[in-house]
Amino acid sequence: MPATALIRETEIERYASAIEPQQAVATLTGVTKRYGDTLALDELNLALRAGEVVALLGPNGAGKSTAVRLLLGLIAPTAGTARVFGGDPQTPSTRLRVGAMLQVARIPETLRVREHLDLFRSYYPNPLSMAEVVRIAQLDGIEDKMFSKLSGGQKQRVLLGLAMCGDPDLVFLDEPTVGMDIEARRGLWQQIRTLANRGKTVLLTTHYLEEADALAHRIVVLSKGKIVSEGTPAEIKSASAGRKIRCRTRLTAELLRALPGVTSVEQSGDDVVVMTPRAEDVVREMLLRDETLSNLEISSPALEDAFLALTTSN
């Protein structure tokens, strides 16, 4: 069954309508964005609630950065409206309440960490104290280092610190852990969780499905400028690919494919892998036909499988 058949418009509407306008910290309503002939966003509706972490997932060119840049007020929609704290994202008073993690390439290499933080703190009337920024972004011990001398993970932590200087209520993290090893990535995840626990709203874009799974209350999957699925990580997984049965059996692939509810059958070494939204029924049928069936395993698909199904079938 194509994944698109499983993604119901009504599910997306359920999320959009579940957010009362007064709860929404930031919204894109009917937003279309064109760059010349390129349609980057196509009548997109997105709302972020106070205190939630939302992951925007999607393949290259899906429109993730465009959505973030609209909410940051860096670009204007071709049609539709972008609102942050009820106002235009471009107004200075709104910008003071928003923090964004920049890309490494945009940071001057020849300043020390402390100098970068001082500079950013000076942009805000009520910045966080230096000690607080250092604590949140775990920069102890590297404050006096030149930015150019830092490791990839340390640079990403400085970028998070810079985003936090103004004590923002809404934080945009664009690929926050790109280029980091798994240990450093986990450390940054912990810091992002701390932000959410302090009531901040976080929108992160990522290519790492594990990251979205680990951090987000809600995942929004974009493909070609449209939302193709939206829900908790568990909902995304279960809505898209059903469950996976792995076992050793004498039954032929042809017979398995003919069982009600089976969506795919693949050989994997000596085992066979069967995908179905009705795992219990299918296993019952298999056991009735093959009492030697062994090595049985039933699992939910990884978010990665779900994501691929969603974005490639579109």
Ligand X SMILES: Nc1ncnc2c1ncn2[C@@H]1O[C@H](COP(=O)(O)OP(=O)(O)OP(=O)(O)O)[C@@H](O)[C@H]1O
Q: Compute the least distance from the CB of residue 27 to ligand X, in Å.
A: 18
Q: Compute the least distance from the CB of residue 223 to ligand X, in Å.
A: 9
Taking the alpha carbons of 195, 201, 207, 208 in that order, is the dihedral positive or negative? positive
23/38 with CB nearer ligand X: 38
63/99 with CB nearer ligand X: 63
**Which tokens hold the place of 190?**
């912990």
Give me the phi and psi of 2, to 5 degrees please: -65, 140
Distance CA 216, CA 212 (A): 5
Q: Compute the least distance from the CB of residue 68 to ligand X, in Å.
A: 8
Q: Compute the least distance from the CB of residue 215 to ligand X, in Å.
A: 17
82/137 with CB nearer ligand X: 82
Q: Compute the least distance from the CB of residue 5 to ligand X, in Å.
A: 24
64/121 with CB nearer ligand X: 64
58/166 with CB nearer ligand X: 58
69/218 with CB nearer ligand X: 69
What does each C-alpha distance from 53 to 17, 48, 68, 296, 306 come to in angstroms? 18, 8, 14, 36, 20
40/158 with CB nearer ligand X: 40
Q: Compute the least distance from the CB of residue 161 to ligand X, in Å.
A: 23
With contact defined as beta carbons under 8 Å apart, do 124 and 95 qualify? no
Q: What is the 3-state secondary structure (H, E, C) of the chain?
A: CCHHHHCCHHHHHHHHHHCCHHHEEEEEEEEEEEECCEEEEEEEEEEEECCCEEEEECCCCCCHHHHHHHHCCCCCCCEEEEEECCECCCCHHHHCCEEEECCHHHCCCCCEHHHHHHHHHCCCCCCCCHHHHHHHCCCCCCCCCEHHHCCHHHHHHHHHHHHHCCCCCEEEEECCCCCCCHHHHHHHHHHHHHHHHCCCEEEEEECCHHHHHHHCCEEEEEECCEEEEEECHHHHHHHHHCEEEEEECCCCHHHHHCCCCCCEEEEECCEEEEEECCHHHHHHHHHHHCCCCEEEEEECCCHHHHHHHHHHCC
Q: Compute the least distance from the CB of residue 63 to ligand X, in Å.
A: 4
The binding site for ligand X (CB under 6 A) comprises: 35, 38, 40, 58, 60-66
156/249 with CB nearer ligand X: 156
300/313 with CB nearer ligand X: 313
Q: Compute the least distance from the CB of residue 296 to ligand X, in Å.
A: 39
Q: Compute the least distance from the CB of residue 36 to ligand X, in Å.
A: 6
